[in-house]
Chains A and B, each alone.
Chain A
Amino acid sequence: MTTGLTTPVGGRVSAPERGRRLHLARNFASLLVFLIVIVQVYPLIWLFVTSLRPAQEFAGGNAFGIPAALTWDNYARAFASADLGRYIFNSLVVTGASSVLIVLLGMMAAYAIQVLGFRGSKIVMGAFLLGIIVPVQIALVPLFINYSRVGLLNTYQSMVIPLVGFALPTSVYLFVSFFEYIPKETYEAAALDGAGPFRVFFEITMPLSTNTVITVVFVNGIFIWNDFIFANTFVFEENMKTIPLGLQNFIGAMGSVDWTATFAAVCITVTPLLLVFLIMNKAIIYGLESGATKG
């Protein structure tokens, strides 16, 4: 797997020689990483460049070269042909509400299971863990039927409920793993001071959990912001559409495909998450790494 580093098998190499080879290998590995990153990111750069490329130039065959001119026209057409602000607002509501619920409910369940403890807590934990491998498709038909019975189709709740439900298992799991590390003495001392389970939850458990909260929010936030399948199944009214759904019918809304304006719309809708990602990338990367390696 690791090309680029060749140390002769058998036979020791002198220390300076080894150092020099290591240095060479490092440079070679860096170069390869650089090239791979370029290939990985090129499509996204192209997407951005295309959103600034004059529509005639794109249609006229020069779709991939360096643009002859740059223009903001595509952005103007993107804003004119779809209510992008509405989509972004809806996505913010759904992502915000879901994140709050995933953190709060996950923390509560983990607190009951791990800190308070009760008979059958292992069974409840098992039931939650099982949810990690259950594919979301199983819920589409039943939820669609249930929603149409109680009139929940085309609402924020119709998206928030399954998004939270299917994210809850990992959230509970991460909080339980974290609560295991809080020493029992902390609780015992608090109990001696007369603190009940509620005060302990709000004054000890919650403030200590900040890092896990960040992990849970980022791991789930990206997926929720981009959720397509629940929105596509439960929402069909224009004013309730989230970004992925709004983008999807962006093409239909204009009859013929206006690619440069479409890519401008994509860029606009990607921007909020991109900004958060670039500003918080250390925390996000830390969260993703610890989120998975704990499993």
Chain B
Amino acid sequence: MLPGRSRASVLVFLVPPLLLYLVAVALPIVQSLVLSFFSWDGVTDLQAVGFANYVKMFTADPIFWRAFANTMVYLAVCLFFQLGVSLFVANLVSYAGRGKEVAKTLYLLPAIISTVAIAFLFQRIYSYEPPGLINQILSTVGLGDLARPWLSEVNTVLVAVSAPEGWRFTGLYMLILYAAILAVPKELEEAARLDGASTWQVFAHVRFPYIRPVWVTTMIMASTYSLRGFDIPYLLTNGGPGQASELLTTYMFKTAFRSTDFGYASTIAVFIVIECIIAVGLILLVLKRGTDNS
């Protein structure tokens, strides 16, 4: 504690940030919680409905469950890129010779492009008529039969709207993991290698345990960001065709601002928050078990 501080000085520094945080984050959370127990279209009077919104959501709304299942697929695709591919590339970069800095910069590039621009880009990449990049490549390599309108087919649309989100942040997580790999003591790996350990063994027994804490942070970041993913599916398909690419976030947004059902939308929003908290809890739980074992 700083000598000579006063209660007044603490307040001067603390109140402005706290006030903004309350207005922008804390109060809306409380309001959403309250609203989730009401039915309200924004015009007529609020109507208290008790737990009716929650009952409807869990028992009588197939779209909600569809959106929830879709969100899990979306999460899986994002994690494949952001945890799997990024870890692979981070390792590759650590073994590469020259050009590391350039590679890092270029690899990060998609992360600075706005989601709207990315949505435009992928609309063209997935396009069927005129043939987009993917369909052209397929027909060039003689797999023309596989060409399809990726964004309007029920079976492909969900993965198609998930992949761009995974792709654009691969570079970010690669950088973070690469920074962690740099911190692994070289002598440890060298010693293991001299003892005849293969590269895979060095990775699994020396490198990965060492970067594990950072990997868990990465996992929490990637999971919570993916669970709140909204922009690209909203812009590419707006949840369609039907509900084939509807996520909880797009469903919540439509319920609020298309159907102006603020009460039910708040119920879904509360669920999204709980979902994020559960995800973080699960990851930390698994991490704790993992470290206890090792």
Contacts and interface: CB of A to CB of B under 8 A. Distances in A.
B116 A247 contact: yes
A111 B13 CA distance: 7
B294 to A, nearest CB: 18
Contacts, number: 314
A191 to B, nearest CB: 4
Interface string B104-139: 111111111111110011001100001011001000
Q: Which of B2, B231, B265, B266 has the most CB of A within 10 A?
A: B2
A70 interface: no
A33 B96 contact: yes
B175 A270 contact: no
B83 to A, nearest CB: 11
Q: Which of B6, B92, B175 has the most CB of A within 10 A?
A: B92
B227 interface: yes
Interface residues of B, number: 108
Nearest to A273: B112
Contact of B103 (A33, A187, A259, A288): A33
A274 B112 contact: yes
A88 to B, nearest CB: 12
B22 to A, nearest CB: 9
Contact of A139 (B3, B24, B95, B114): B24
Interface string A254-295: 000001001100100110011001100110110011101101
A1 interface: yes
A222 interface: yes
Nearest to B22: A165
Nearest to A23: B97
A9 B196 contact: yes
B289 to A, nearest CB: 20
A246 to B, nearest CB: 9
A236 to B, nearest CB: 11
A8 B200 CA distance: 11
Chain B interface helix/strand/loop/mixed: helix
Contacts of B157: none
B21 interface: yes
8 contacts: A26-B95, A34-B103, A63-B124, A127-B21, A142-B31, A162-B24, A225-B114, A247-B114
Given A44-B113, A118-B14, 17 more contacts: A4-B95, A46-B133, A61-B130, A105-B17, A116-B1, A134-B29, A135-B227, A135-B249, A137-B230, A142-B35, A197-B4, A197-B13, A201-B13, A248-B235, A266-B121, A285-B108, A290-B179
Interface of B: 1-7, 9-10, 12-14, 16-18, 20-21, 23-29, 31-32, 35, 42, 87-89, 91-93, 95-99, 101, 103-117, 120-121, 124-125, 130, 132-133, 136, 167, 170-172, 175-176, 178-180, 183, 193-194, 196-201, 203, 214, 217-218, 220-221, 224, 227-228, 230-231, 235, 249, 252-253, 256-257, 262, 265-266, 269-270, 272-273, 276-277, 280
Interface of A: 1-2, 4-12, 25-27, 29-30, 32-34, 36-37, 40-41, 43-44, 46-47, 50, 59, 61, 63-64, 101, 105-106, 108-109, 111-113, 115-118, 124, 127-128, 131-146, 161-162, 164-166, 168, 172, 187-188, 191, 196-198, 200-201, 222, 225-226, 228-229, 233, 243-245, 247-248, 259, 262-263, 266, 269-270, 273-274, 277-278, 281-282, 284-285, 288-290, 292-293, 295
